[in-house]
């Protein structure tokens, strides 16, 4: 009888470890509680608009989102604006509540001469920004510059 209990225990342990190995990495969903502070915004500048975003180019969120934002930032600095837009639109589908994505899209549209879309994206960034005074202040500064077309 003891042998049967020991075998049963071994089988349970074996199955537990096997299934735990198949489960993969546990990933916390940061889409709702994502840090949306000023630090998560880009520090972009483009001579077409003469406006400097005052972010810190830090990233939070899922691995895919971070890679897309890094790729978008790189494409922007290399003046590959269409490529940048593609990366940002993908990032938007992954993290629709990330204000940093909307700030980037807003600035990109403004650089491309699409002021109505730029304004719309800045307003969305404000809408999803969660209680960060400095971040909201920077988005309002961007929105005012777009509305005034201050180049």
**How is the chain split into domains, by residue range?**
28-148
CATH value of 28-148 in 1.25.40.10, 3.70.10.10, 3.40.50.10160, 3.30.70.520: 1.25.40.10
- What is the rounded end-to-end Cα distance, in angstroms, of the chain? 85
Regarding pTM above 0.75, the answer is no
Residues composing the chain: 151
46, β-bridge pairs:
51
pLDDT at residue 91, rounded to an integer: 94
For the chain, 151 residues long, the average pLDDT of each consecutive 10-residue run is 64 61 44 53 80 79 90 94 96 91 94 94 90 84 86 45
Query: Can you read off the two tokens belonging to residue 97?
Result: 């509540």
How does pLDDT run across 99-113, given as a tens digit for each residue?
889 999 999 999 999
pLDDT at residue 62, rounded to an integer: 77
Dihedrals φ, ψ of 98, to 5°? -100, 110
How does pLDDT run across 119-143, given as a tens digit for each residue?
999 999 999 987 768 888 889 989 9
Structural contact between residues 42 and 103, judged by C-beta atoms closer than 8 angstroms: yes
């Amino acid at each position: 009888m003891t042998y049967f209990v020991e075998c049963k225990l071994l089988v349970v342990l074996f199955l537990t470890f096997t299934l735990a190995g198949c489960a993969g990495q546990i990933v916390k969903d940061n889409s709702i509680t994502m840090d949306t502070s000023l630090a998560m915004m880009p520090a972009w500048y483009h001579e077409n608009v003469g406006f400097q975003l005052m972010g810190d180019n830090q990233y939070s969120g899922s691995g895919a989102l971070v890679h897309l934002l890094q790729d978008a930032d790189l494409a922007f600095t290399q003046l590959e604006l269409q490529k940048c837009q593609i990366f940002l639109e993908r990032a938007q589908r992954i993290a629709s509540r990330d204000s940093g994505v909307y700030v980037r899209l807003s600035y990109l549209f403004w650089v491309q001469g699409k002021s109505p879309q730029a304004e719309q994206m800045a307003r969305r960034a404000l809408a999803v920004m969660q209680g960060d005074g400095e971040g909201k202040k920077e988005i309002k500064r961007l929105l005012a510059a777009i509305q005034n077309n201050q180049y």
